[in-house]
Amino acid sequence: MGEEQGMKGSHGGESGMEGVAAMEACYQGFNPAAYLQYNYTAPRADFHRRDSIVPWKLSCLHKAFTEEGLRGEVLVDVGSGPTLYQVMSACEHFDRIILSDFLEVNRNELLKWLQGGEGSLDWTPYLQHVCELEGRSPTAWREKAERLRSVVTDVLPVDVHQPHPLPPGTLPHSGADCLVSSFCLESVSPDLASFTRALGHLSRLLRRGGHLLLIGALGESFYLGAPGLRIPVVSLEESQVCSSLRVCGYNLLRLSVYHLPPDMKLGVDDVTGVFFAEARKP
């Protein structure tokens, strides 16, 4: 599907569901290995560079699960893709983590690592960095990897455009204690209305009093899901993220923003910033 169809959807030129179907078609060529290469290797993932995105992002996640004390039984990561960094802090504070993605190719990438195999990316530097944030030796990364493998109980299909995004019976009736979702909603929604509807669908997965950690791109209109595969993204401003959270009934507790240095603009997307929103369902 060409970008113009996606762009047409992002201007409301199609009905909501037509735009969603167009987005779905876009994802058929998604390449996990390429995606990981574009976003999760240097310079974006340079652990020795203080202004790199990855130390900032992992620090936000670490603080949320330690200083803010997020903990509980069940955490769901929505739209996991082929990545694991987003649950490396959480795995110390939850008994059960459910990973989820729309594409089988991404679920298989996760399952490969979870079953001890070699994935498309070596997550060791991420595990070591999170151990250091926790005041542990970096050599504790093996224990952290085993902890993560032990608490991830499911890797499930998910569709945030469905009123019930996960398979029936996945969660306790009251819902999950915590949701994490990173770079998903804005990357799969044809427009802001669809993004906000999807955010509302996520709320149904969360118990009252539960927390949402929503991470995403600001000012992004496309990204490469594979060589030459431009996937349209609904371009968000901070104020729109805050408004969508409020419209969906969340209480916004904290919003942090990272502005990308010029040398981290690599052509694989046109993202200008990254937001980290911590919210609670009253």
Ligand X SMILES: C[S@@+](CC[C@H](N)C(=O)[O-])C[C@H]1O[C@@H](n2cnc3c(N)ncnc32)[C@H](O)[C@@H]1O
Q: How many residues does this entry show for the chain?
A: 282
Residue position matching structure tokens 């995606």: 35
| Residue 250 binds: one of ligand X, ligand F21, none (C-beta under 5 to 8 A by kind) | none
The structure tokens listed for 205 are 């997965």
Residue 189 as a binder of ligand F21 (CB under 6 A): the answer is no
- Please, is 156 exposed, middle or buried when counting C-beta atoms within 10 Å of its C-beta (0-12, 13-18, 19+)? middle
Q: Does the protein bind ligand F21 through residue 145 (CB under 6 A)?
A: no
Compose the 20-49 pattern: x for residues touching ligand F21 by CB under 6 A, - for all others: -------------------xx---xx----
276 near ligand F21 (CB under 6 A): no
Q: Which residues between 186 and 205 bind ligand X (CB under 6 A)?
A: 187-188
The residue within the footprint of ligand F21, chosen from 77, 101, 220, 278 (CB under 6 A), is 220
Q: Which residue, chain included where needed, has tokens 């202004």? A: 51
Could you say which residues in the range 79-108 bind ligand X, by CB under 6 A?
79-81, 83, 86, 101-103, 106
Regarding 184 and contact with ligand X (CB under 6 A), the answer is yes
53 binds ligand F21 (CB under 6 A): yes
Q: Measured in Å, how far apart are the chain's first and last C-alpha atoms?
A: 40
In the chain, which residue ranges form alpha helices assigned H by DSSP? 3-10, 16-26, 32-39, 53-66, 104-114, 124-133, 141-151, 185-188, 192-203, 238-247
At closest approach, how far in Å is the CB of 55 from ligand F21?
9
Reduced to 3 states (helix: H, G, I; strand: E, B; else coil), residue 128 is: helix
Establish if 269 lies at the interface with ligand F21 (CB under 6 A): yes
Site for ligand F21 in 99-118 (CB under 6 A): none
